[in-house]
Structure formats: structure tokens, C-alpha cells
Amino acid sequence: MKTNWQIPVALVSVVMGFLLSTQFKNQMDYRQSLPSRRVEDLEFLLKNAEHAKEDLTREVAALRKQVQGGGGSGQRAAELAAGLVALKGPGLEVVVKDSAKSLQKGEDPNVAIVHNDDLLRLVNELRAGGAEAVAVNDQRLVDTSEITCAGSTILVNQSRVAPPFVIHAIGNSDTMAAALGLRGGIIEYLQFYGIQVNISKKTEVLIPMYSGVSHYRYAKPAVMTDSRP
């Protein structure tokens, strides 16, 4: 049964998707491939999109308050899955910084900095190691989250993040650390280029609630019927 908050949330999600879905996807190292004027244009568009995102996020937050405090265990489980509840538990803190080494003559400076795909690989390894919840610079990652870049800027949930990059993950710290430390894995790859990675096991890690807006263009709720006799 539909509730009166679902329609406005859906409308906000559609608008948010329209504003953001066509911008800044799969943008890799624009400083190398685009003239500086083009990069400036992208940064201008990014600022406009961020302002729109802030307005819509405030509206969604107000709508969420209307449904807080109600619902049973099913609703609670859905909120957990959607990242609408802050979580805490044992896990890892992974701090990633650009290389501090001096570049040699003719060396590509891009090898010394952290890229969005580096963060994505780290997150994927943590999930492979059983991470139950992950955040990058306090940006909670959910099924619709993206780690992309626009020019020299890394975006998580369409929000700017800057080094040092701090990844928090809740789960078995030993298993997740082992997944990151596999021979020939992401940590070894980053350290080869001088990228600084520090892994700390924590007795308690705090993962904030998801602050973005989930938007689905094609998926719609389905009415399930019991086909058993």
C-alpha cells in the first residue's frame, strides 16, 4: 500500500536523476585528454550540479523525517539495506594518500596520485572480504553509489572528496585486511607507485547513513503473488 511520502520521494529522485545521471560518468584523467578550457567548463557544471544536489538532498531529508519512528522489522531491514540507518561495528580504517616521492625527470605525475578507480578497487576488495558497510570520506556506499571523476576531482555519490581518502568498513577485520593484502593485489599495486596506504583494525567503526538520493529509471516495485496451491 502506498504511503503519502513515497510519491514526493519518487519525484525528487526523478529530478535528481535527470540533473546528475548524464554528467561526470566514467570520466578518467581529463587533464591529459582535454584542453584546460574544457576542464573549466566541466568544473563549472559540477558546481551547478552540486548546488542542485544540496537543495534536493535537503528536501529528501525532510521527507525522511516524516517516516522516522514508524514501521516494523521489515521496514527496518529495508532501511538498513538502503543505507538509511547509520551503522557501527568492528572493522577497518584504510587511509590512502598521494605519493610523497619526488618525481624523476620525464615521469608521469599521474602515477603518483590516487585515482577514482584505485578507490573503487579498494572498496571492491573490502566487499569481497565480507564488508557489510563501507564509506569513503564519510560518504556511505549503497548499490547505486558511484566513484567517478571530473577533471582532477574525485566524486563519491556525486560529492567531491579530497585526499587523504579515508575508507571505513564494518566486518571481520582480519578477513578484510587479508583481502586487501593479497600478493599482486591492490595494495601492492599502489605501493609500487609510492601511494601511501595505512590499514588499521578498529574495535568500532562508524558508518554514516546514505545522504544521497537513489534513483531508478527502469526498476519499479513489483506485486508478488503466492502461486502455491
Evaluate whether residue 228 is within a structural domain.
no
Question: In this model, does residue 227 exceed pLDDT 50?
Answer: yes
Residue 229, domain member (yes or no): no
How far apart (Å, rounded) are the C-alpha atoms in residues 173 and 201? Answer: 6
Indicate the average pLDDT of the chain: 75
- 181 inside domain: yes
Q: What percent of the chain has pLDDT over 70?
A: 58
- CA dist 196 to 11, 107, 176, Å? 43, 18, 18
Of 66-80, 89-103, 195-209, the range with the highest mean pLDDT is: 195-209
Q: Is residue 111 part of a domain?
A: yes
Residue in the block written with cell 529528501? 60
* Burial of residue 108 (number of CB atoms within 10 Å: 0-12, 13-18, 19+): exposed
Distance CA 40, CA 150 (A): 10
Query: Any idea what the CATH number is for the domain that residue 115 is in?
Result: 3.30.70.1880
* Residue 169 exposed, middle or buried by CB count within 10 Å (0-12, 13-18, 19+): buried
Report angle CA 160, 101, 117 to the nearest 5 degrees: 35
Residue 31 has pLDDT above 50, yes or no: no
Cis, bond preceding 164 (omega within 30 deg of 0): yes
Section 35-47 average pLDDT: 59
Report yes or no on 128 lying in a domain.
Answer: yes
Asked if residue 26 belongs to a domain, the reply is: yes
pLDDT of residue 32: 46
Containing structural domain, residue 138: 6-207
Is residue 16 within 8 Å of residue 213, measured between CB atoms? yes
Domain presence at residue 60: yes
Domain total of the chain: 1
pLDDT in tens, 149-185: 887 889 998 889 999 999 999 999 999 999 999 888 9
pLDDT digits (tens, 9 = 90+) for 43-78: 666 666 666 666 666 666 665 565 555 555 555 555
- Rounded Cα distance, 109 and 103, in Å: 7
Inform me whether the pLDDT recorded for 4 exceeds 80: no
For residue range 109-158, list pLDDT tens digits in order: 788 899 999 999 999 999 999 999 999 999 999 888 899 988 788 999 88
Which residue's C-alpha cell is 601511501?
196
Q: Which three cell numbers stand for residue 104?
A: 624523476
186 pLDDT higher than 60: yes
| Residue 214 is assigned to a structural domain of this protein | no
